[in-house]
Structures are given as structure tokens and as C-alpha cells.
Amino acid sequence: MKTYDWLVIGAGITGAALAYELVKIGFSVLLLEQDPTLRNATYYSYGGLAFWSATTPLMRQLCDQGIARHRILSTELDADTEFRELDLLLTIATDTDPKVAAASYANFAIPPKLLSVDEALEMEPLLNKQAIAGALTVKHGHINPEKTAQAYIEAFLRAGGEMEITQVQNFTSNHSSQTIKTTTKTYHSAKIVVCAGGFSRQLLKASGIPIKLYFTHAEMIQTPPVELQLRTLIMSANLQRFQLEAESTKVDELWNQPGHEILAPILDAGAIQFQNGSMRLGQISRVLSDPDVEIDKKTSESWLRRSIGEILPALSNLPGTWHHCLVAFSGDRLPIIGSIPGCNGVYLFSGFSNPLAIVTPLAQRFANYLTGKEDKIISQLSPARFQSPM
């Protein structure tokens, strides 16, 4: 019976990055992933690196480290992550005062510059002039998240890591080892780290572990490569998603009962074009307590296309397919990283609100921390900060 040092559950960007950093240090690591096609939140991500958006010293440090790491990551992993910097345009709705919108970003590490309608159209000719009162712009990092996660996985495997495609059902722990039951077999490890994103809460609950980790149902449209050229990354200046997340955690007991729509869904209209010409158009966020709920894809796709069409009319009728995934978040917009109190050998690495910008440095820091090195940042992100009755 083989026993690994670490068993990492989930091969999205969080699990892939952490598994790579752990094996690089010298741990024996098994990476488990339930989806053979890796169609997870990482795959459907816009790929944005909002390194400019930090509002605290902690996040400034992590964003600075993150962008520095992304600049060298393709070389280190020996695979192209398609890292680039491009212009982000944050569109301002016609019922909003542009100066008020700009002021709301004043405390960001790099405050975006306010543009007139004509200046915004000069940067992005596909914008609907009648639908905006102006825009804000700032340089924004971008990667291909699927290729980046795959690059981490391949580097992890080259370094001696092992990976299996199987669905974890639950796990049990004693003082010296963990037993992980999957749909196909049972595995053993000294320690487990859950990196299952929006599925983490459900998985931990199945193993008898309550945790203040939540998820939204995110919906978007993915297009094939198209000839139409989008010059910028488009997002709304008034992003509703973070407020939705904050409001949804106020009544915690609802999350433990299936069938609840905790808040009404929101739509933040935005678009990005990848280097191969394909686009992501989104996104709807729903707060539903059931991770397996069925969503009416036709109604959702119609809502997405209508909303995108108001800002970017040429994009509304592009060929494309509606997709859905779960996106994890915590109660304070910071990731949850570390040992779960009362659960010997069980760790969590999840709940990233701005994942792609900060996962890379935090995976590196956490792996070093797990060798016994102190890290004040990792200590601040411990699950223990939410210790209270569920």
C-alpha cells in the first residue's frame, strides 16, 4: 500500500500550482481530479490578472509577487502560458456619474484613468457609444488559464508527481494518516489538501467537516475563434459580484440547506478575446445553496447575449456555447489557506476571489510553509480566522 506525503484534491489552477510547488520541494504527491477534460472554473475563466486592484498592503505584496511570477512562469514551466498585458476598459453606465465611478477606484494600487466616451471608443471601436457615460482604463495582466494549469500539471508530472482521474467521495483521518475514498479506489497519504474550488464545501461536508467556504454558479458564453477583433478586455466599472458574495454569507445556515436561492442572480457584462481568436462573454453569478442544481441554459444565454449586446453589439450574435461552473469564495474576499482546526492532517487551499493574480505566489509560499518555515502571510489566511459555530 503506497502512502503519499500529500494528496492534492482538484487540478484547477490552485491544485495544479500547489501540487507542482510541493513536488518541487521534494514531497511525494498524488494529484486527484474528477474531470478528465479539466472543464472547471479555471478553464472557463477570463484569464485576467488584476494586479493593479490591490487595496491593502497584504494584497499589494501578493499582487506584486504574482505579476513578477507570471512574467517568468512560461520559462520555468517550459510551456507558453500566453502571458501578456493589455488594456482593460471598465465601462461606466449612462446612469452613473463618471467622476463618482473613478473616485470609487481611488484607493487601488494603480487607480484606473478616466476616459470620455470618445476616448473609450478610440481604444475599443466595438463599444456602443449610446450605452456608456465613459470608461476607466488601466493595464491588466492576462494568461490562458487552461494552458497555465496544464503547464503546471505537466511540470509536476515531469518532477515525479502522480495524477489520477477519479472523483473523491470522502476521506477520513487519524493522527498519522488519511484515507481517501474515490469512485474507483482508496488512497492513503500523510496529509490532504483540498483545492476543489466551488466543490470544496460539499466535499468537506461529506467528510464531516463544516467550513465557511462558499460558491457562486458562474455562467458565460465561449465562442470559437472568430475574425472579429476585440482590442481590449471589457468589464463593468460597477462589478456586482463582490457585493453579491459579501451579502450571501450573512445568513450562514441557508448554505447548509439544499434548494435555496440565497440572493437574486446578477450579470456583470464583459468580454475578452484570447490569442487564438476565441472569446469569453459573461458573466452571470447565482448564489444557490445546491452545487448540483439545474440551470435553464436557454434563458441564461438569452440574458447574457442581450446584456453583452447593449455594450458590444457586434458580439451579441457570435456563435458560442453557454457554460457553467462553480466559483469558490470566502467570507472576507481573502483565500482560505492552511490546516483546518480540529482536523489533523487536513488542509485547505481555496476561496480565491482574485485567483489568477495571487495563486502563483501563495502556492509557493504555502509549500514552503508546509516544510516548517514561518510565513506571516500564510498565517493570516488560516481557516482558524472563521472559527465559530456554523
- Do 191 and 347 touch, CB atoms closer than 8 A? yes
pLDDT of residue 374: 96
Q: Quick: pLDDT tens for 112-165.
A: 999 999 999 999 999 999 999 999 999 999 999 999 999 999 999 999 999 999
In this prediction, residue 390 carries a pLDDT of: 41
- pLDDT-based confidence at 388, cuts 50/70/90? low
pLDDT band at 12 (very low <50, low <70, confident <90, very high): very high
- pLDDT-based confidence at residue 178 (cuts at 50, 70, 90): very high
Amino acid identity of 89? L
Cα gap 216→353, rounded to integer Å:
11
- 159: which residues sit within 8 A by CB, 6+ positions away? 20, 23, 24
Q: What is the mean pLDDT of residues 289-295?
A: 94
Question: Strand, helix or coil at 31?
Answer: strand
Residue 189: per-residue pLDDT: 96
The mean-pLDDT minimum among 249-263, 289-303, 338-352 falls in: 249-263
- What percent of the chain has pLDDT above 70? 99
Please indicate whether residue 257 or residue 132 has the higher confidence score (pLDDT). 132
- Cell numbers linked to 232: 481590449
Taking the model in full, what pTM does it have? Answer: 0.96
- Structural domains of the chain ordered from first start: 3-80+145-211+333-386 (3.50.50.60), 84-142+213-330 (3.30.9.10)
Q: In this model, does residue 53 exceed pLDDT 70?
A: yes
CA distance 17 to 65: 15
Residue 389 confidence (pLDDT): 43
CA torsion 357-88-273-311 (nearest 10°) is 130
pLDDT, tens digit, 9 for 90 and up, residues 312-350? 999 999 999 999 999 999 999 999 999 999 899 999 999
The confidence band for 29, taking pLDDT boundaries of 50, 70 and 90, is very high
Q: What is the pLDDT of residues 77-108, one digit of tens each?
A: 999 999 999 999 999 999 999 999 999 999 99
Report CA-CA distances (Å) from 59 to 53, 108, 245, 263: 9, 10, 18, 28
Res 300 pLDDT > 90? yes
**Please, what is the average pLDDT of the chain?**
95
Closest by alpha carbon to 235, among 266, 270, 267, 284?
Answer: 270
- Mean pLDDT over 10-14 rounds to 97
